[in-house]
Amino acid sequence: MVDNIGPKYIIKVYNHEFGVHGVLVIDNTKLGPGKGGIRMTPTVGEEEVGRLARAMTYKNALAGIPFGGAKAGIAFDPKTINPKSADADRVKKKIVEWFARELRPLLFKYYIAGPDINMTEKEMAIFVRAVSNKRTATGKPKHLGGLPHELGSTGYGVAEAVKIALAHKGIPLAGARVAIEGFGNVGVFAARFLTEAGMKIVGISDSKGVIYNQNGLPWKEVLKVKKVKGSVINFLNSEKLSNDRIFTLPVDVLIPAALPDVINASNADQIKASVIVEGANIAVTPEAEAKLLARGVLIVPDIIANAGGVISSYAEHRGYSAEKMFKLVKQKITKSVTTVLAESQKTGESPRVVAIKIAKQKLF
């Protein structure tokens, strides 16, 4: 994706010791240094990171915060390291340190890092220590001046987006059925805040499979089982299904909260949800989105729905408290989603098209 917005820089690096590739795409810096997390997955590459960086450009513009768009990826699967091995922590630590040092010339002025898939506050602490500068990353532990994503800012923002979307569709919150694809940081906190709002989480998935109970799943108990036994599929009071079934459950709301392109041409026709809220970045392909919109499915795009994480990053950058951060997330998500859905209804354009138009107005 090359146009008058970006990208500004594409940096590719290689670690000979571990045979690991890394890439950073700084898409646009008109509004400030590029902001976007680092993901660590075995398949991540330049094309995926570039798409994510563009999403961050739009997301930050829509949120009205002084960051540009960027994203980074390390092509490595941390799950291949035996967690019981004495070398497990050392290997991941060395890879994160290497990546930080390779990016050092661009850090803070052009790029501010953050956590993403398989990267947590622990890795952000390693990152900033490797370059001796706490301001080069957000999502750090509290003792380093951080507001870690483990507070749940992204999931909280997704939950707020769901509430507004349901109201827009005229679906009552109480008892609304929700399926969540991915039970990591975003999925867990979305489940928590949606449950607290009176909604019913009926389906949850992780990499091992899907659990389903039409009467509802208690997110705290499911999380305990996942932590102890390694997967949600070990939760007893549920029906076990294959991974692809999370997208076809009879629900009001579907939240993809894991990997890109999971809702695509192969499963779009089987989706029963009335509302899709993208907890993950670029979770719905353009082809699938066109099919779903034609059927009247409301899709709240990632660039507004999951902006809670980057809003939290901005709050950390400014030194705000966790309480002030959550208020800012609610305020900005509510404003963005309400504005976009109202304009979409008025013009007949999709929420994504409207959101991108608004973002571009701020970039030019």
Residue 62 has a CB neighbour count (10 Å cut-off) of: 23
Q: Alpha-carbon distance 258 to 244, whole Å?
A: 13
Q: Alpha-carbon distance 159 to 192, whole Å?
A: 9
Q: Examine the residue annotation and report whether 71 is marked as an active-site residue of this protein.
A: yes
The helix/strand/coil state of 329 is helix
Q: How, if at all, do strands 200-206 and 209-212 pair?
A: antiparallel
Spatial strand order in the sheet of 200-206: 239-241, 209-212, 200-206, 177-181, 253-256, 275-277, 298-300
Residue 24 has a CB neighbour count (10 Å cut-off) of: 29
Query: How does DSSP classify residue 278?
Result: -
Q: Alpha-carbon distance 314 to 336, whole Å?
A: 16
In this structure, are residues 275 and 169 in contact, taking their beta carbons and an 8 Å threshold?
Answer: yes
Q: How, if at all, do strands 209-212 and 177-181 pair?
A: unpaired
The token pair that represents 100 in the structure block: 């930080």
Q: Alpha-carbon distance 108 to 33, whole Å?
A: 7
Query: Closest by alpha carbon to 203, among 219, 225, 184, 185?
Result: 219
The helix/strand/coil state of 358 is helix
- Tokens 């449950």 correspond to 195
The helix/strand/coil state of 96 is helix
Q: Alpha-carbon distance 222 to 30, whole Å?
A: 43
Query: Closest by alpha carbon to 259, among 238, 277, 283, 230?
Result: 283
- Tokens 């709240």 correspond to 300
- Tokens 């805040």 correspond to 193
**Residue of 71, 92, 200, 291 marked active site:** 71
In this structure, are residues 61 and 31 in contact, taking their beta carbons and an 8 Å threshold?
Answer: yes
Q: Which residues are known catalytic residues?
A: 71
